[in-house]
Chain A
Amino acid sequence: MCLGHQHMSGAHELRTYVAELHVHTVVSPCAAAEMIPPLIVREALANGINLIAITDHNSSANVGAVQKAAEGTSLSVLPGMELQTREEVHLLCLFDALAELETWQALVDERLPPLENSIEYFGEQFVVDETGEFIRRETQLLCTSADIPLKEAVERVLKIGGMAIPAHVNRKAFSLISTLGFVPPNLPIDALELSGHTNPSWAYEKLPQLRDYPLIQNGDVHRLDEFMGVNVFRLAAPTIPELRLALHNQRGRSLAIRHSMN
C-alpha cells in the first residue's frame, strides 16, 4: 500500500523518518572525541538515519554547529538537551527551533550550581564549529543536576513549544523509574525512552507501568558506533507537532520500532 496516494486528512504527503533522538557531542564530557558535527552527520546518514536530535547534558552549545554541518544533506537536526533534574532524572527536551532551545538554556543556566568542570574527573567539554574545530572549553560543570523539579521542567518545555521525554527509563542510573520509583501521575510527557540494551516487549514485561506511554528507543549515542536508527516515523515533516501526532498514532502519523541491528 502506498500511503502517499491515499487521501490524508493532514493534506500533506507522509514521509518515512528514521530517527535517533538522543545524540551527544563533544561538549558532553562523557562523549568520545569523535562526536564532532561532520562525523555525527556522516555516521547518521551512513546508518540510514535522516532525523536526529542533539541532546547534550544540560547544554545546547554544539547544536547550531551540527545543524550547519547537516545543511545540504538529507539529515534533519532537532535542537535538544538532556536535562538532569533536581531529582536526578534525565529528561530529553526537544524543540523545533534553536531559539526555543536557547530560551530553555537560559533557565537551565540560572539553575545549575556555580561549579566548574573537573576535566580530570569528568572529561573535556569542547564547544566546536561545524567542521569540528575547537572554539572554547565549556567551564560550567555539566554532569550535575539543575535545580528544576521534573514537573516544572516538563511543563516549561511544553510551554516553550517543545516535547519532554524521560530518558533511558530501563536503566539503573539517572532514570525516572529508578530515581522516583514509577512515572508520577499527571506528568504531561509524550513518551518514554528506552536505551539500547533492551527491546519494547521486554521492557513492557519488566515494567508493566510503561504500557500507559508510547515508547521510543535510542542508542544514547556517545560514540559513533552507537547509532541505532530503530525509530521509524511516518511524518509530514520532521517537527515536534508531527512527532507528537506519530507518538499518539493520530492523523495517519505513526511510529514503529524495528529490531536493532546491534
Chain B
Amino acid sequence: MTLQEIIKQLDLTLLTEQKDFSEVVPTCGYASDLLSCVMAGARHRAVWVTLQSHTNVVAVGALLELSAIIITEGATPDPDTISKANEEGVTLLLTEKPTFRVTGRLWELGLRDS
C-alpha cells in the first residue's frame, strides 16, 4: 500500500509540496492526539492520524521520519506550520472526516498497527 493509493482512496487534501507518493510505502499506522505518546509510541515511517494541528506535529513528524501525518476533522494548520513542514520534508494531509473513520479506512486498506 503506497501513500499515493491512501491519498486517493481516502480523498485526502495535500497541504504540503507534491512528491512522488507512489514511492512512499508506510510501515504502519498510529493514532493519538497526545504528542508525548506519539513520540514514544509511533514507529518510523508510520502514517500518523491526529486532529492536533499545532506546529509541534511537524517536529514529531520529522523526528520519526513519518510517511505522512493525516490531520482530521478539517483542523487546518496555520501557514507557518505548513511552510515548516515543507522545510522539514514532512507530508501533511487533511480530511474533514474524524479520526475513527480514517483509521477504519486505513485498516480496511490493509495498513496495520505494527
Contacts and interface: CB of A to CB of B under 8 A. Distances in A.
A149 B54 contact: yes
Contacts of B33: 88, 179
Interface stretch (A66-74, A180-188, A237-245): A180-188
A214 to B, nearest CB: 21
Contact of B59 (A151, A178, A182): A182
Given A181-B59, A181-B60, A182-B59, A150 B54 contact: yes
Contacts, number: 32
A22 to B, nearest CB: 22
B110 to A, nearest CB: 29
Contacts of B36: 177-179, 181
A87 interface: yes
A84 to B, nearest CB: 14
A151 B79 CA distance: 14
Interface string A130-166: 0000000000000000000111000000000000000
16 contacts: A150-B54, A178-B36, A179-B33, A179-B35, A179-B36, A179-B52, A180-B52, A180-B54, A181-B36, A181-B38, A181-B39, A181-B59, A182-B35, A182-B56, A184-B55, A184-B56
A148 B77 CA distance: 13
Contacts of B54: 87, 149-150, 180, 184
A150 B60 CA distance: 17
Interface of B: 33-36, 38-39, 52, 54-56, 59-60, 78
Interface of A: 87-88, 149-151, 177-182, 184
Nearest to B40: A181
B35 A181 contact: yes
Contacts of A184: 54-56
Contacts of B34: 178-179
A73 B65 CA distance: 58
A177 B59 CA distance: 14
A181 B34 CA distance: 7
A171 to B, nearest CB: 11
Contacts of A87: 52, 54
Nearest to A85: B54
Contacts of B39: 181
Given A87-B54, A181-B36, A181-B59, 17 more contacts: A87-B52, A88-B33, A150-B54, A177-B36, A178-B36, A179-B33, A179-B34, A179-B36, A180-B35, A180-B52, A180-B54, A181-B38, A181-B39, A181-B60, A182-B56, A184-B54, A184-B56
